[in-house]
Amino acid sequence: MTGLLHARRERKVAESVIRDPEEHTVMAEDGAVRSIQAAYVTVPTEQLEPLWNPPNLERLARTYWKYLSKVTLGLIRVTYTEDERAVVLLFRPLVLLRFRAPEYEFSRHRGIVRWRIEDGLLVSPRGRGGKGYLEIDVRLVPQEEEEEEEGVSTVHVEVEVASFYPAIATWLTGFVYSHTQSKIHVIITHGFLRSLARLELEESAVGRFAAEDRRAVRREKDGAITVGETPWAWIAALAAAGVAAVVALLVWLTRD
């Protein structure tokens, strides 16, 4: 997985340094999980200023979902509707996580996008109905005058999951969750935070703040928008290879 996160070595415009809290992932006695991954992104001030606006906060949100789909080779996609965002495994009935439509907060020094967790296969019944949330929080870090003269700004980017009740911890144990799903989440989120050093934001899928961002968006028959493409040809090839391997094994086992 780690290799996939760094498969593309593109030119970096900025610098992203991971700085998680000391206790970045904790589980409460009632099973609620809080997980925070964070990074300091150092950016040339002249490049940051035109990016600091609500439309680009929305683009950052879509960049997160697109990154998730990319590192899972399209096996996971995100479907947008007017009222929700659904993280889907292969096709829509397999909804791993369903979020309510995002909430945005933006000011001169801070921007927040928050998705409240509605339900999904990965969510325990006690955590459904908007109790927990996923949030991306970007904040301009105050700098000393001598640093400002260098024309460099620093942004603290934090990805937080709060009040999340994982179904796997209910079915099995918290230990299993912390050594499987939790670790995968941390690895993917760190990869996303490092990717921000390229300052490449995906175009908005919805265009809530800028209608022109609606271009290059694929809609489903029901009007939903899907971020990410499932590589069905690749999956079919793997399935065919698997079938061929099974047939070959059976032939070998039943040989005279």
pTM score of the predicted model:
0.79
Taking CA atoms, 197 is separated from 1, 17, 44, 164, in Å, by 20, 9, 11, 28
Q: What is the mean pLDDT of residues 120-130?
A: 91
pLDDT value at 231 more than 90: no
Whether 242 maps to a domain, the answer reads: no
pLDDT value at 7 more than 70: no
Which position has the higher pLDDT, 231 or 79?
Answer: 79
Percent share of the chain, pLDDT over 90: 43
Which position has the higher pLDDT, 239 or 165?
Answer: 165
Whether 94 maps to a domain, the answer reads: yes
pLDDT value at 249 more than 90: no
pLDDT value at 131 more than 80: yes
Whether 247 maps to a domain, the answer reads: no
Q: Give pLDDT, residue 188.
A: 94
The model's confidence at residue 235, banded by pLDDT at 50, 70 and 90, is low
Whether 234 maps to a domain, the answer reads: no
Whether 194 maps to a domain, the answer reads: yes
Write out the DSSP string of 110-167. EEEEEEEEEE-TTB-GGGTTTTSEEEEEEEEPP--HHHHTTTEEEEEEEEEEEEE-BH
pLDDT value at 240 more than 70: no
Average pLDDT, the chain: 81
Q: What is the mean pLDDT of residues 189-209?
A: 88
Whether 32 maps to a domain, the answer reads: yes
pLDDT tens digits for range 56-65? 999 999 999 9
How many folded domains does the chain comprise? 1
pLDDT tens digits for range 151-198? 889 999 999 999 999 988 776 777 788 888 889 999 999 999 999 999
Q: What is the mean pLDDT of residues 16-39?
A: 91
Whether 66 maps to a domain, the answer reads: yes
Which position has the higher pLDDT, 21 or 37?
Answer: 37
Least confident span in 13-17, 114-118, 196-200: 13-17
Q: Give pLDDT, residue 234.
A: 56
Domain range for 120 is 2-229
**Amino acid identity, position 59:** R
Whether 238 maps to a domain, the answer reads: no
Q: Give pLDDT, residue 243.
A: 64
